[in-house]
Amino acid sequence: MSAKSHTESDIAKTLGVAPGSGRGRRLRRVLLLILLIVIVVVVLAMRKKPNGAGVVQYKTEEAQRGNLVVLVTATGNLEPTNQVEVGSEISGIVKAVEADYNDKVTVGQVLARIDTSKYEAQETQLKAALEAAQARVLQAKATLHETQTKLAQLQRVRELSGGKVPSQTEFDAAQAAFERAKADEASAAASVAQAQATLKATQTDIAKAEIHSPINGVVLTRKVEPGQTVAAAFQAPVLFTLAEDLTQMELHVDVDEADIGQVKEGQEAQFTVAAYLDRTFQAKIVQTRFGSQTVDGVVTYETVLKVDNTDLALRPGMTATADITVKKVENALLVPNAALRFSPPAQQQKRASRGLVGMMLPGPPRFNTPQQPVVDTNKRQQTLWVLQDGQPKAVPVTIGATDGVKTEIVSGDIQPGMQVITDTMGTGR
């Protein structure tokens, strides 16, 4: 008790009042009241301040109605509708070249000529061999006629002599000679046919020494010069590449396996090429091929688009980037794709509890993160987050088509104009 009295005496001396006096009691009550007012003001300020420390800010966008165009992008190269590689079936020295790059050619027009001196010499030799074979046929026919006459005479004598002459051995020998003469005649005739076929083959080679155009078109490439030796040993070397009609071309693009299910014949497309950055060309799908090709682990399917090239602005081999229109949706409820990828951060601030002040001054209100909804195995079932009373609220929705930027909402408690959360902007300071 003496220590307490001593402390109160010290406080009283400090305040300049006597211990236990009425003035001291009033001063203590005033100080206590001021302290309570300060505590109330601080608490109210912390609760009313919207951007207080630790409050998460959200970035939102409106759900809107609009038209959605779903595109599939693919790259490829332009090719002529019909491209033909013209080669040579025979070997020899190129005597003349009659066509050059970009020349328009017609069916049957001579493109190049190969020297035929060697083949003409073979032709002369084969003609002589044919004539010799024909002479042997005449000789075989004469021998056949001779043996046939001799056999007939022996037959007549045998009939007149009652079978006594000629002897059976002599008659059999004549009969065998006649048969051999018939065989010789057949062999000679076969030799003639063989000589004729060999001569015709050589004459065909001579005719092939003139390289003709098989189509009406344009010369794209020329790979031969006069004086060049052409060697057609195992395969025909390519001398010219012709395009039938450059006013109608094809665009061959590789569509990714994830998108090929949406691509169908008859769909419209637009494409651009590096040569005309400010121009868009129109195309139409005419074929989607079933055969796949794998490059660097990526599976793609070749798709053919028909292109009108009346002004000849496009050229074979150009690289093009095509946007294929696979679906159009009008007056759809659209939300940004970022909203479908958003999920609230897991934040929960602990209440401070340090001494008497911590008990009297509550910390910022706790932010209880809503539980994440169970993910549906159906990828069409997604979750959007909207702001409700400053807090994120999960809204299950069913999505439809997407163009990579916005997605169609097929069903769900989402209305045009609602603010959907797309991202967080950090906490207030």
pLDDT of 16 reads: 54
* Residues 178, 225 share a domain: no
CA distance 86 to 188: 41
pLDDT of 352 reads: 32
* Residues 144, 35 share a domain: no
Strand, helix or coil at 271? strand
Number of domains in the chain: 5
* Residues 183, 106 share a domain: no
pLDDT of 171 reads: 87
Q: Is the pLDDT of residue 370 over 80?
A: no
Instruction: Indicate whether this model's pTM tops 0.75.
Output: no
pLDDT of 234 reads: 74
pLDDT of 47 reads: 62
Q: Is the pLDDT of residue 15 over 70?
A: no
pLDDT of 390 reads: 78
Report how far apart the first and last C-alpha atoms of the chain are (Å, whole number). Answer: 50
* Residues 216, 88 share a domain: yes
pLDDT tens-digit series, residues 221-231? 999 999 999 99
pLDDT bracket for residue 44 (50, 70, 90): confident
One-letter amino acid at 260 equals I
Angle at 221 between CA 317 and CA 295, to 5 degrees: 35
Least confident of 11-20, 131-140, 185-194, 376-385: 11-20
The domain of 219 spans 84-112+212-244
Over residues 225-248, the mean pLDDT reads 90
Over residues 347-365, the mean pLDDT reads 43
Least confident of 5-14, 59-68, 290-299, 400-409: 5-14
What token pair was written down for 286? 């005419």
pLDDT of 100 reads: 95
Residue 287 is part of a domain; what is its CATH number? Answer: 2.40.30.170
What order of strands is seen across the sheet that includes strand 110-114?
210-212, 110-114, 92-97, 229-230
One-letter amino acid at 98 equals E
CA distance 169 to 159: 16
pLDDT of 372 reads: 47
* Residues 174, 29 share a domain: no
Residue 379 is part of a domain; what is its CATH number? Answer: 2.40.420
pLDDT of 32 reads: 81
pLDDT tens-digit series, residues 135-172? 999 999 999 999 999 999 989 998 888 888 888 899 89
Mean of pLDDT over the chain: 85
* Residues 257, 235 share a domain: no
pLDDT of 71 reads: 93
The DSSP result for 65-109, as a single string, is: EEEEEEEEEEEEEEEESSEEEEE-SS-EEEEEE---TT-EE-TT-
pLDDT bracket for residue 360 (50, 70, 90): very low
The DSSP symbol for 260 reads: G
Q: Is the pLDDT of residue 359 over 90?
A: no
Out of 295, 329, 363, pick the residue that ends a domain. 329
pLDDT of 164 reads: 84
* Residues 287, 138 share a domain: no
pLDDT tens-digit series, residues 266-321? 999 999 999 999 999 999 999 999 999 998 999 999 999 999 999 999 999 999 99
Q: Is the pLDDT of residue 369 over 60?
A: no
Least confident of 59-68, 98-107, 346-355: 346-355
C-alpha distances in angstroms, 188 versus 146, 147, 178, 358, 388? Answer: 17, 17, 15, 127, 108
pLDDT of 279 reads: 95
pLDDT of 345 reads: 76
pLDDT tens-digit series, residues 389-422? 778 889 999 999 998 899 999 999 899 988 999 9
* Residues 88, 219 share a domain: yes
Out of 208, 229, 253, pick the residue that ends a domain. 208
What token pair was written down for 4? 């307490």
pLDDT of 389 reads: 79
* Residues 97, 219 share a domain: yes
Out of 244, 268, 299, pick the residue that ends a domain. 244
pLDDT of 92 reads: 93
DSSP β-ladder status, 391-402 and 406-412: antiparallel
* Residues 226, 90 share a domain: yes
Q: Is the pLDDT of residue 123 over 80?
A: yes
For the ranges 57-61, 121-125, 412-416, the one whose mean pLDDT is highest: 121-125
Q: Are 230 and 92 in contact (CB under 8 A)?
A: yes
* Residues 234, 92 share a domain: yes
Residue 104 is part of a domain; what is its CATH number? Answer: 2.40.50.100
**67: phi then psi, degrees, rounded to nearest 5:** -95, 140
* Residues 174, 199 share a domain: yes
Q: Are 92 and 115 in contact (CB under 8 A)?
A: yes
